[in-house]
Structure 1
Amino acid sequence: MNAATIENSDRLRRVLAVLSDGRERTTLDIIAYARVCAVNSCVAELRANGFDIRCRREGDKWFYRLEHSDEMF
């Protein structure tokens, strides 16, 4: 996969902005607030850019959370 860079991707910056408060967000939260479709791909690209994003599953819902980062974007 060729990951976009955070500096050149409005899409990744929108997802990061949703996650930036460190609270857990569902896939649907991220879709709604960041206006993206493939959340798992965005998260993989953010990880490739050095961001520590954790995910967990609870039933049929996935939750994503950004670990603390001193430098956002």
Structure 2
Amino acid sequence: MASIHAAKMDNSPRLQRVAELLADGRWYSTLDIIVGAGVCAVNSCVAELRANGIPVDCRRVGKDRFEYRRADVGEAHGAG
């Protein structure tokens, strides 16, 4: 299995926008992230955030919908 080439947080405005959106620990749908952070490939952004040491939870909601949140702040802020 090939590993992805993850961008570094400090020089990636795209990853910084996604991380900032997820920083409150709330669950965000794929569409929320696309619109809120101005990105296209949410699953790739999440993989790159994880490669940069930012834990991101993912859950399936219904048949075709996924939601994401920062794993290290979600429970601490009572979100969910």
Offset, 1:67? 1.8
Determine the C-alpha separation between the residues in 1 that align with 2:65 and 2:38: 18
Structure 2: segments with no counterpart, 5+ residues: 74-80
User: What is the DSSP-based 3-state SS (H/G/I as helix, E as strand, rest coil) of the residue aligned with 1:47?
Assistant: helix
- Aligned pair count reads 69
Bigger radius of gyration among the two: 2
TM-score by length of 1: 0.90
Within 5 Å, give how 1:1-73 maps onto structure 2.
1-59=4-62, 60-68=64-72
Determine the C-alpha separation between the residues in 2 that align with 1:56 and 1:32: 19
Determine the C-alpha separation between the residues in 2 that align with 1:23 and 1:16: 12
Structure 1: segments with no counterpart, 5+ residues: none
TM-score by length of 2: 0.83
Identical aligned pairs, as a percentage? 58
1:11-52 Cα shifts (integer Å, max 9, x gaps): 000000110000000000000010000000000000000011
Determine the C-alpha separation between the residues in 1 that align with 2:56 and 2:5: 18
Could you say what the CA RMSD is over the residues aligned between the two structures, in angstroms?
A: 0.9
Offset, 1:58? 1.1
